[in-house]
Amino acid sequence: MKISVIGAGNVGSLSAMRIAGEGLGDVLLIDVVKGLACGKALDLEDARPLLRYNYNIKGSDDIRLLEGSDIIVVTAGLARKPGMSREELLAKNAQILKSVSLNIKELASEAIVVIVTNPLDIMTLYALKVTGFSPKRVFGMGVSLDSARFANLIAHDLGVMCTDVEAQVIGAHGEAMMPLPSFAKVKGVALDEFMDEEKIKSLVSRTVGRGAEIVANLGTGSAFFAPSAAIASIVKAIAKDEKRVIGLCSYLNGEYSIKDTCIGVPCRLGKDGIEKIIELELSGEERDKLRKSAETVAQAAAQLPV
């Protein structure tokens, strides 16, 4: 299997390392900055004897090496800089993603494509439109990371192992995300058996603001350890045909009473991409909030040139 990661920044390069370490296939790291992907790939190669992983990884600035890729992870894009509006970020990253998507369409027309570029939900819908691929094969990372953050915060607060916590987040990957406390469990026991409503609300708020909290502490840049772990888990589920249920930014065509847009929901993932969208039993208020968030994504993507 050939797995390509486009974008050799912190998220892309660490994702490439995690994917290679899982032994899922040959990994290609690509970046437009001359020498960047190659240098990082050489460094990752040198780590093999120390890590005791016999993986194959290459780096290049030649996008045409995408040809024949089975899975493509797209992390390429700009981070928001001081003084830059969200609209400016959207316009610039849309230009980057359009070019990448057209190359994928030409060179790897059978690939499964995982979008990580922000704003993630809008970029996922845009990539889907530009490539014209089946929605089963183009989706975004998004809420799998947010669910992990929610689970981690619950585990910290209760002083339990994070592996004992199940947490669910749906919606947009950003401030409009929807952590769902009613679906959170600790060793199969409902979260409200362990804490009161005020504490739960506090954890929901912290989950929504977790990315911003990390950025504020870093000073420059954003999270990359957890995002790369989320990416690697998605790629592994595809490569090993795990049939796992993972939160993904997926195209909805009637599910949750939402049509023709992308938003984060749980999906069963296997070797052919998204096999099934899981519809949770949401309250009326939760359904309305999810629908409004999805409409915002569709409206923003509609302004971008295909």
Instruction: Indicate which CATH number applies to the domain containing 50.
Output: 3.40.50.720
Answer yes or no: do 296 and 165 share one domain: yes
Total structural domains within the chain? 2
Helices (H) and strands (E) in the chain, counts: 10, 14
- The answer to whether residues 162 and 294 belong to one domain is yes
Q: pTM for the full model?
A: 0.96
Spatial distance between the Cα atoms of 20 and 25, rounded to a whole number of angstroms: 7
Domain C-terminal end among 140, 174, 205: 140
Task: Give residue 167's domain range.
Answer: 143-302
Same-domain check for residues 135 and 151: no
Which tokens sit at 288? 């309305």
Do 150 and 282 have their domain in common? yes
pLDDT, residue 74, reads 98
Query: In terms of domains, do 147 and 270 share one?
Result: yes
pLDDT in tens, the chain (306 residues): 999 999 999 999 999 999 999 999 999 999 999 999 999 999 999 999 998 888 999 999 999 999 999 999 999 998 766 666 667 788 899 999 999 999 999 999 999 999 999 999 999 999 999 999 999 999 999 899 999 999 999 999 999 999 999 999 999 998 899 999 999 999 999 999 999 999 999 999 999 999 989 988 988 888 999 999 999 999 999 999 999 999 999 999 999 999 999 999 999 999 999 999 999 999 999 999 999 999 999 999 999 988
Annotated catalytic residue within 40, 136, 173, 210: 173
Among 140, 175, 206, give the residue marking a domain's end.
140
107 with 187, same domain: the answer is: no
Q: Phi, psi (5° rounding) for residue 13?
A: -70, -40
Tokens at 238, concatenated: 């595809």
State yes or no: is 173 an active-site residue: yes
Claim to verify: residue 121 and residue 216 sit in the same structural domain:
no
User: Rounded to 5 degrees, what are φ and ψ at 220?
Assistant: -135, 145
Both 113 and 167 in one domain: the answer is no
124 and 176 part of one domain = no
